[in-house]
Amino acid sequence: MTTSPLVSTQWLEDNLKTPDVVVVDGSLFLPQMGRDAEAEYLEAHIPGAVRFDIEDISDPKSDLPHTLPEPHLFASKMRKLGIGDGQTIVVYDGIGLWSAPRVWWMFKVMGVKDVHVLNGGMPKWKAEGRPLEDGPVRRPERHFTARLNRGAVTSFDSLRKIIASGDRQIVDARSSERFSGSVPEPRPGMRSGHMPGAKNVPVMDLMRDDGSLKDETTLRAQFSEAGVDISKPVTTTCGSGVTAAALTLALTSLGATDLTLYDGSWSEWGSRQDTEVVAGS
């Protein structure tokens, strides 16, 4: 199996019936997108795909949206989905590289080695006329061992130290307008702008028109133009911790290894009154 974080649509179609290859629909849409991830899954999904609901598989004790659950809860949810140890997991979403990387990242920080994102997701799969099915999918329960790598998850206090020390780069996946503070945040009660010292690489700029990840040369140029040195430590962030993982995936594809993700992201930082917020690019 490839060590790349991505697999192609052709690879997945060739391996749909391979034992222990599990396909996961990890779609999550913003309210303003006007899309229903559950309804779209039931109407059409890749054959055999189970539905990974990021909203449901999150920390029920947190006031922040879809934060990482504790390992025992994650393991319980995966067992009920029929996802377990020793499997090859392939995640996709309905935009391409939007929320699937978040699911990929969740599996990675829970200790799963063999997990990948379908390059291009459902848009590319559909455009190529590949097989689909409808209705729910039930898999037999399977034991899942969760070993949380807490070092890959940046907390609020850790981010404050990062900003104070400057020992890690902060890269924000939100749109340039949200990053600069020229438009209001979609969630009420949040200030507009970004964290001190943060760089901006919008998640939508990572994708081609078909939803797949841009080529290595283009990605390297984009990060460089944003002032990001991929050979140095990076902490990714976004609005609520979802699309930050797309930056993590893109950086991983370029060979970056010292990566963490700020799970609270702007939902936490921008809603507090004791944080510094910078406006402008």
Q: How confident is the model at residue 18 (pLDDT cuts 50, 70, 90)?
A: very high
Q: Which of 97, 195, 238, 242 is catalytic?
A: 238
Sign of the dihedral through C-alpha 73, 75, 76, 81? positive
The alpha carbon of residue 265 and the mean position of all alpha carbons in its chain are separated, in whole angstroms, by: 12
- Please, are residues 22 and 110 in contact by the beta-carbon 8 Å criterion? no
Q: Does the active-site annotation cover 238? A: yes
Residue 241 has pLDDT above 70, yes or no: yes
Residue 113 has pLDDT above 50, yes or no: yes
Q: How far apart are CA 161 and CA 180, in angstroms?
A: 22
pLDDT tens digit string along 40-70? Answer: 999 999 999 999 999 999 999 999 999 999 9
pLDDT tens digit string along 24-33? Answer: 999 999 988 9
Residue 87 has pLDDT above 80, yes or no: yes
Residue 1 has pLDDT above 70, yes or no: no
Residue in this structure with the two tokens 């920080």, named with its chain if needed: 109
Residue 2 has pLDDT above 60, yes or no: no
Q: How far apart are CA 248 and CA 101, in angstroms?
A: 8
Whether this model's pTM surpasses 0.95: yes
For each of the domains in the chain, give its residue range(s) and CATH number, in order of start.
6-148 (3.40.250.10), 151-269 (3.40.250.10)
The alpha carbon of residue 30 and the mean position of all alpha carbons in its chain are separated, in whole angstroms, by: 14
pLDDT tens digit string along 168-188? Answer: 999 999 999 999 999 999 888
